[in-house]
Amino acid sequence: MAKKCYNTFVVAECKSGKAILVTSSARKATETLCKGRRIEVWNANRKVETIYAKQPREKSPMQPYIQAEREYIGQKQKAAEERNRCRRIARL
């Protein structure tokens, strides 16, 4: 079975290079992006991309990461609902 690698987002000051936030949430990283900051996207210990400017939602370079995060959360929600459904049957 192949190991799945997750993205890590590092929000850093452009001038000093100091990391402000390290998160796996694309939405959280996008919200903290402003002038003078950048987002570095890391996957499997390699820098994949650097994003400097916030853009409209349709053209945003963060949009594929946000969409993947939403799909992942949806899968987790469905799995949790299925587990809960099985638990209710077992308790009856």
Tokens standing for residue 64:
């594929």
Region 44-65: what's the mean pLDDT? 88
What is the phi/psi pair of residue 34, to 5°?
A: -150, -175
Tell me the range of 3-17, 30-44, 54-68 where mean pLDDT is highest.
30-44
Give the distance from CA 59 to its chain's centroid. 17
Write down the pTM of the prediction. 0.78
